[in-house]
Structure 1
């Protein structure tokens, strides 16, 4: 008799409470209606804030006013069609769907994880997920889906793998063993804010690199503990109808996998040819890699790879017999996203309406001002900034947008207290990552719910949040401990970057 899924305790209460909420589509309709009423009330009250970046006074825009209603009518379709995550999800789903439909992913998973113990599988999923930000948001779609398949193939609950991948790619999004696009985006904002105090400050994208390398290793270890000691026992034995194929790969499938591997090698060599030379095709201006077509085009590069690798495998094993099978497989992969597409329509309206009201900016500015007035220093300052960033993340999920608002406040405040701008950026990045998988308005929450419903049809918002909460709490605790160690020994955050000002 296998272990039954545990439904008690705090996590069970969170799951039950979350799953009593209405369907996400209806929930967002309620939230959007509430936003409209709130914007009207606050607009009439004259609520405002001074944007620290521009110096302009930002007021609440009333959605229910004539201008607001006209804006809704004129932008409703644009909000939907311009919703950036939608295009990414659809494109990646088609590419991965082809690789899955051809049998490539299934064969690869069965070959790759044969005989691998659970702790090694968990560590692999978490380490790859935490470092997935090198592929930007594409990792949020790819890694949880593959992790679910991998866990299922070794007889573990697939949702445990899915949640591990989702938590790693989100709560650990800011950590990486490499310099990523996030580093390139944030450091310039930090430098501008630091020059408000010291015009001679110059920074690089590597200012948090050492700290984030250690973070990858620490979060992986902690994530394995959470997965193996909390999530896997809680889920118990998987009894769903979606079963893993436990047979071994045939000789033809091994040949297909080998051919796909040869293609992968050729593809990687072509990328290196375009990237390694100083004047390579995928290099940016002045030979830059961080600000280059390679970084900005990484998602399309992955899409092309999955499609072509799937075709190579499918043609070898016979799952793709003619060119017409390719679009059929890609179209079939989108069938599971119909509910997501409908949900995106209302999510896109809410997010754009929230931006229109200016409430995100006003909340962020007033909250950070309040923190500054309290006069926290040392560890209380660190914890206060992290918690404030977490709270604001529930209403503004864009990490870059928040930093544009916070940096002109946090960076000078830290510098005046004797801390470096590099340290202020680290603290912000921790808070920005922790709450990602817990935020109901997060654009990728609906897609991971859809993934989970493949295995358990009753999965809802409460299920996902209750399962990712232990990861977020554990990551928060160890990250704060890591910050304390860095402060105690004034360890370098990156090349030429320290905790305290020289």
Structure 2
């Protein structure tokens, strides 16, 4: 009977996700979808502005009005900002620059050999856990992890006879929904704690929230979410996908002796580069560290993307020279150019997406939605731990409109850190509650520009894949990650486990 009930539950869940996929795939092509959304924002901003809607942003005194994109000012913005919206769109430069290094390593065959000789040989029972775990800790590379891990995870799954989209989903879930967790203190910790501290100082408080104040909680989260992500993949996502019948992905054969030599040389060169960076970090008054000799914040974290690009270029060039796939400097540029050709579809999508997001920001429509939602929760007047859960759920919803974690925290912190402070909640605890909500829905928010990149990776294995396919794949991860994180938050709170050094729920 229990087996039958489980089968019925799986059947209902599969039907629900299939329904989401069908509805989502009826949406227009992503390029046209963003164009339509841009038009909707233009019309909506005009309609709202007719009612002279205004609001006050937390921490500010002046009223902010929803501005019409159909006004003279709005038309001027549309016409004069189009190129800036495109070329200044942060993910565009990040992705293209990363692909110079990663694309070179891929085109010379390094990534293929690395997968053949390492992950593919790992016990199959551990592959899923390794993929999710790698995705979670990959946020040390910031947004670059969105570009690196999902496609590699898909290749790994394909080459061990599993569905590549399941691997891609597991990698994307680790990177996106687990974005804020890590074993190390990262730039995200420094950025968010700085905002929280500023809010406390505005109250005249001497409380300082440090980058380490959520560390214990985030270290625990890495382990638990790795398990949860793997179970969601193997129990929900992969069974629903079924057996992969395509042949688009790469099929790897056993690495040759020369390929292994190239991999070894690349590893030595990469290790030497990492050792050099570590030495530079450790020398007194290093230019890569801050004035106190730390790395949060520091030039090292600010420049992590260029450092990663150089790392992949060193690996690719070393491997190519060993296998003689690179015989001159012209070959390096050729391989990089080939990698850029593969990104043409992404560039087209980003042009449309950048316009939509710019219109959303300029008109203040997104800010208005976020502030209104925050004020609503504040007006409810919940007490006890329920208000924290309500805050988490609201943040998860608002993340669908404001993708930037730092921007959203800058918006929410002046309201909720102050409100919870007067209820005797520690600001670092409130920050931890914010982080779990902000991360969980990263993989289903349409405001996440990296969704388009992941969708392009999906189409390497399924030409018919659409936004609905992606959302239906990722929704279980968002729900289970959020639910698990809420339970973990409550567990820490009720057992009195510190969230970081000396940090508990209450002051």
Q: TM-score range by the shorter chain?
A: over 0.9
Q: CA, structure 1 residues 119+48, in 2 after alignment: closer, same or farther (shift >3 Å)? A: farther
The alignment's TM-score, normalised by the length of structure 2, stands at: 0.95
In structure 2, what is the Cα distance between the partners aligned to 1:327 and 1:388? 48
User: Are 2:363 and 1:374 aligned?
Assistant: no
1:234 CA drift (Å): 1.6
Aligned equivalent of 1:3? none
The alignment's TM-score, normalised by the length of structure 1, stands at: 0.96
1:431 CA drift (Å): 1.1
Q: Is the 8 A contact 1:423 1:498 kept in 2?
A: yes
User: Are 2:261 and 1:255 aligned?
Assistant: yes
Alignment match of 2:433 (pick from 427, 431, 434): 427
1:41 CA drift (Å): 1.4
Q: Is the 8 A contact 1:490 1:500 kept in 2?
A: no
Which moves more between the two structures, 396-405 or 196-205? 196-205
Alignment match of 2:156 (pick from 141, 150, 157): 150
**Alignment deviations for residues 168-203 of structure 1 (CA, whole Å, 9 cap, x no partner):** 100110111111111110111111222344522122
User: Are 2:422 and 1:416 aligned?
Assistant: yes
Which moves more between the two structures, 131-140 or 314-323? 314-323
Aligned equivalent of 2:303? 297
User: Are 2:174 and 1:207 aligned?
Assistant: no
1:71 CA drift (Å): 1.3
**Alignment deviations for residues 143-191 of structure 1 (CA, whole Å, 9 cap, x no partner):** 1111111112211111111111111100110111111111110111111
**Alignment deviations for residues 203-223 of structure 1 (CA, whole Å, 9 cap, x no partner):** 211111111000111100101
Alignment match of 2:48 (pick from 26, 42, 46): 42
Aligned equivalent of 1:162? 168
**Alignment deviations for residues 69-120 of structure 1 (CA, whole Å, 9 cap, x no partner):** 0111111111111001000111112211110111110001000024322331
Alignment of 1:65-464 (within 5 A): 65-464=71-470
Alignment match of 2:66 (pick from 60, 64, 78): 60
For structure 2, list consecutive stretches of 5 or more residues without a partner in the other structure.
1-10
- Deviation beyond 4 Å, 4+ runs, structure 1: none
Alignment match of 1:19 (pick from 15, 19, 25): 25
Q: Is the 8 A contact 2:177 2:481 kept in 1?
A: yes
- Classify the secondary structure of the residue corresponding to 1:423: helix
In structure 2, what is the Cα distance between the partners aligned to 1:119 and 1:367? 43
Aligned length: 496
Which moves more between the two structures, 176-185 or 233-242? 233-242
In structure 1, what is the Cα distance between the partners aligned to 2:218 and 2:292? 26
Q: Is the 8 A contact 1:126 1:168 kept in 2?
A: yes
In structure 2, what is the Cα distance between the partners aligned to 1:180 and 1:367? 29
1:246 CA drift (Å): 3.5
Which moves more between the two structures, 153-162 or 136-145? 153-162
Which moves more between the two structures, 112-121 or 80-89? 112-121
In structure 2, what is the Cα distance between the partners aligned to 1:332 and 1:239? 28
1:60 CA drift (Å): 0.7
Alignment match of 1:10 (pick from 10, 16, 26): 16
1:20 CA drift (Å): 0.8
